């Protein structure tokens, strides 16, 4: 029975493009977690920012993906320079990916309000297999799995981020090197990390003094996987409450709600329901979001920040 469960899990992950070419986890509230994919975002909020996000995907399905990410970034005393640090733990069935990356950005003014930032990212990805899986009688003596149960691969990325207070455009590749976790064996059972390219953008329209409309988009291209497109629309009411929806092409739809609790604290929640073949195997996806903006004596800081 356990073997059959693993086969089912592997098949569904393959169906959803999680196996063969491992991709960075993708979030519904991506516009607040930009530093995980674009190092040029570091310091762009003009204050010390801390972000935490937890995503439980495909609830009710054994071995479903669970992702936790946390990041911190800030401008330096020379406000043209920004530094950041991000951590992601992504668990997919019996596989675990941990990403630890540092970020550096340098910003130049391109107009009265607009800025252009260039960023570099560097760190490592650790890949492990659950000990419970390795202890399975059908696996325990298999040299392939034992040799590939714990791998660490360095990588680096780069990006640009052009923005004002009300709009942004970003282009980045957070993992430029291809990493093979199969140790050159040619097997596709254990995953490989492939380079990805992200194009992001967003704009804020003032509909009235009390209501603002903020569309955003994310296009991701990954070697060895189909492209992914997110379209998001949020409304901001009285600078306090965000309400919106998101659509990931041929994959999922989502409802989003965020609340600006204080000028320094925002919390958010998103619920995704799949539109792909996997929809019959799960009860939806839950995503929780927390953001702190600290050191608010900075005269340049504005609240709320839209991106």
| Local confidence pLDDT in tens for the 307 residues of the chain | 444 444 455 454 444 444 445 567 889 999 888 999 999 999 999 899 999 999 998 887 777 889 999 999 999 988 899 999 999 999 988 888 999 999 999 999 999 899 999 999 999 999 888 877 766 766 666 666 665 667 888 999 999 999 999 999 999 999 998 776 555 554 444 456 778 899 999 999 999 999 999 999 999 998 777 899 999 999 999 999 999 999 999 889 999 999 999 988 999 999 998 888 777 777 889 999 999 998 656 666 676 788 8
Q: Which residues, 6 or more positions from 112, have their beta carbon under 8 angstroms from its beta carbon?
A: none
What pLDDT, on a 0 to 100 scale, did the predictor assign at position 190?
A: 47
Domains of the chain, with CATH numbers? 2-294 (2.40.160.40)
Long-range Cβ pairs for the range 85-91 (8 Å, 24+): 86/35, 86/36, 88/24, 88/25, 88/36, 90/25, 90/65, 90/66, 91/65, 91/66, 91/67
Q: Which residues, 6 or more positions from 114, have their beta carbon under 8 angstroms from its beta carbon?
A: 162, 163, 164
- CB neighbour class for 160 (10 Å; exposed up to 12, middle 13-18, buried from 19): middle
What pLDDT, on a 0 to 100 scale, did the predictor assign at position 138?
A: 64
Whether the CB-CB separation of 291 and 260 falls below 8 Å is answered with: no
What pLDDT, on a 0 to 100 scale, did the predictor assign at position 16?
A: 45
Strand (E) or helix (H) holding 214: strand 211-222
What pLDDT, on a 0 to 100 scale, did the predictor assign at position 139?
A: 66
Residues of 40-69 as b/e, b for ≥16 C-beta within 10 angstroms?
bbbbbbbbbbebbbbbebbeebebbbbbbb
Nearest to 17 by CA among 280, 162, 158, 223: 223
What pLDDT, on a 0 to 100 scale, did the predictor assign at position 228?
A: 92
What pLDDT, on a 0 to 100 scale, did the predictor assign at position 145?
A: 62
What pLDDT, on a 0 to 100 scale, did the predictor assign at position 140?
A: 62
- CB neighbour class for 178 (10 Å; exposed up to 12, middle 13-18, buried from 19): middle
What pLDDT, on a 0 to 100 scale, did the predictor assign at position 3?
A: 46
Nearest to 269 by CA among 259, 261, 260, 279: 259
What Rg value do the Cα atoms of the chain yield, rounded?
A: 20
What pLDDT, on a 0 to 100 scale, did the predictor assign at position 19?
A: 44
């Amino acid at each position: 029975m356990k073997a059959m469960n693993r086969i089912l899990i592997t098949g569904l992950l393959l169906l959803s493009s999680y196996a063969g070419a491992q991709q960075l986890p993708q979030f519904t509230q991506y516009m607040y977690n930009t530093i995980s994919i674009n190092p040029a975002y570091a310091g762009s909020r003009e204050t010390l920012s801390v972000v935490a996000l937890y995503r439980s995907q495909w609830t009710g399905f054994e071995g479903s993906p669970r992702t936790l990410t946390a990041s911190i970034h800030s401008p330096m005393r020379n406000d043209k320079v920004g530094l950041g640090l991000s951590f992601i733990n992504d668990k997919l069935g019996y596989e675990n990916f941990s990403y630890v990356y540092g970020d550096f950005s340098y910003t130049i003014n391109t107009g009265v309000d607009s800025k252009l930032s260039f960023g570099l990212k560097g760190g490592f990805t650790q890949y492990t297999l659950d000990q419970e899986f390795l202890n399975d009688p059908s696996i325990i003596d298999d040299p392939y799995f034992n040799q590939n149960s714990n791998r660490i691969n360095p990588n680096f990325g780069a990006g640009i981020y052009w923005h004002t207070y009300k709009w942004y455009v970003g282009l980045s590749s957070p993992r430029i090197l291809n990493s093979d976790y199969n140790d050159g064996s040619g097997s596709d059972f254990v995953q490989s990390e492939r380079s990805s390219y992200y194009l992001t953008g967003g704009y804020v329209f003032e509909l009235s003094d009390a209501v603002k409309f903020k569309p955003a988009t994310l296009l991701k291209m990954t070697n060895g996987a189909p492209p992914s497109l997110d379209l998001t629309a949020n409304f901001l009411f009285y600078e306090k409450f965000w309400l919106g929806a998101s659509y990931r092409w041929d994959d999922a739809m989502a409802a989003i709600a965020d609340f600006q609790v204080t000028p320094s604290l925002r919390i958010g929640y998103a619920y995704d329901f799949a539109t792909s073949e996997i929809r019959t195997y799960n009860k939806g996806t839950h995503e929780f979001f927390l953001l702190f903006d600290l050191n608010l004596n900075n005269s340049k800081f504005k609240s709320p920040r839209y991106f």
